Amino acid sequence: MIPQLTIGPIFFHWPAEQKRDFYFRIADEAPVETVYIGETICSKRTPFFEQYYDEVAERLQNAAKKVIYSTLSEVMIRRDRQIVEGFCELEDAEIEANDASALWYLAGKKHRIGQFMNVYNEDTMAFLAGKGAHHFCLPPELPKEAIAVLGKADIDVSLEIQVFGRVSLALSARCYHARAHGRIKDNCQFVCEEDPDGMDLRTLEGKPFLSINGIQTLSYTFLNLIHELETLQGMNISHFRLSPHTYDMIAIADIFQSVLDKRISSEEAQEKLNALKISAPYSNGFFHKKPGYAWVSRERD
């Protein structure tokens, strides 16, 4: 089983041209096999990038990247359902379902299950596989014991897990981003664009706590499983997801791929990641069954 790097969908509301150029650079420079495109957080953002989907997909495919279309992670109104339906009806396109509403349109069709679907046990995985799912991106909050169980399940699917980037913790019907600026969701004026990696929150004591992206609550820390890649491969995880941020994702992909290829050690890789000066601490607590924001030093035998 050859490990593969993937680029997950962009959570944030970047200007359309910035997103286009990001994907062009991924196509030309990043050592990744699969790229997920599509708005997963807020349906109001969808129209901004629609004109670039075909161009971006063609550029990625010409660079031998597999393109997967990711659906919305929260579907509440008719417009949301129509967007999901439109994606699921694309011909010759593979879909990643991030909300159960997509399953209606994907029944019997080969598809993927995204990390928002909360697949925590073998029974859920088996049920969805019976409906056509062949690839699962597991929720990033799973501890290694749970990942190991899913990896051993006698189900003919491939498994993926996020190994870098802020972790999605919750979705809300309300838009906190709009509310924080004295606006309502229906008249947000797309204020989330002002925070391209999320709006950081602090406790009353001034301690960094979480990050907000529209209706999405994210971790303040950046997930970093660079030291756990070998262990994850031993658990039958074949795909390793990098969640996009405004930092140099090409450099980040090169670092992770170098570890997967065993060209450098995870310790050397960590030094290279530290040199990128990410604005928040790294974390790996969920994997080690600790608070998610925690950083657990590499275990040594």
Q: Please say whether the beta carbons of 256 and 196 come within 8 A.
A: no
| pLDDT greater at residue 182 or residue 127 | 127
pLDDT of residue 46: 94
108 — pLDDT class (breaks 50, 70, 90): confident
Q: Please tell me the predicted confidence (pLDDT) of residue 181.
A: 87
Map out the domains of the chain as residue ranges. 4-167+219-283
Check residues 173 and 10 and name the one with the higher pLDDT.
10
pLDDT for residue 298 is more than 80: no
- pLDDT-based confidence at 194, cuts 50/70/90? very high
Q: What percent of the chain has pLDDT over 70?
A: 99
Asked if 158 contacts 238 with a C-beta cutoff of 8 angstroms, the reply is yes
Q: Is the pLDDT of residue 299 over 90?
A: no
Q: Is the pLDDT of residue 105 over 60?
A: yes
Residue 196 has pLDDT above 90, yes or no: yes
What distance separates the 2 farthest-apart alpha carbons in the chain?
Answer: 55
C-alpha–C-alpha distance, residues 292 and 280, integer Å = 14
| Percent of the chain surpassing pLDDT 90 | 89
Tens digits of residue pLDDT in 28-65: 999 999 999 999 999 999 999 999 999 999 999 999 99
b/e sequence 101-118, b meaning 16+ C-beta within 10 Å: bbbebbeeeebbbbbbbe
Predicted local distance difference test score (pLDDT) of residue 186: 82
Give mean pLDDT, residues 128-150: 97
For 89-100, the pLDDT digits (tens) are 988 899 999 999
Q: How far apart are the first and last CA of the chain?
A: 25
pLDDT for 223-266, tens place per residue?
999 999 999 999 999 999 999 999 999 999 999 999 999 999 99
Strands 94-97 and 239-242: unpaired
CA angle 195/199/205 to nearest 5° reads: 150
On whether the 4-167+219-283 domain is CATH 3.40.50.2300, my answer is: no
Mean pLDDT, residues 115-132 taken together: 96
Residue 301 has pLDDT above 60, yes or no: no
For residue 300, is pLDDT > 60?
no
| Amino acid 272: pLDDT | 97
What is residue 163's three-state secondary structure? strand
What is the reported pTM?
0.95
Task: Compute the radius of gyration of the chain from its Cα atoms.
Answer: 18
The amino acid occupying position 64 is A
Q: Which of 75, 156, 157, 80 is nearest to 117 (CA)?
A: 75
| pLDDT score, position 25 | 98
Q: Which residues, other chains included, contact 198 with Cβ-Cβ below 8 Å and sequence gap of 6+?
A: 11, 12, 166, 211, 212, 213, 218
In the predicted model, what is the mean pLDDT of residues 2-9?
Answer: 96
Identity at 171, one-letter amino acid code: L
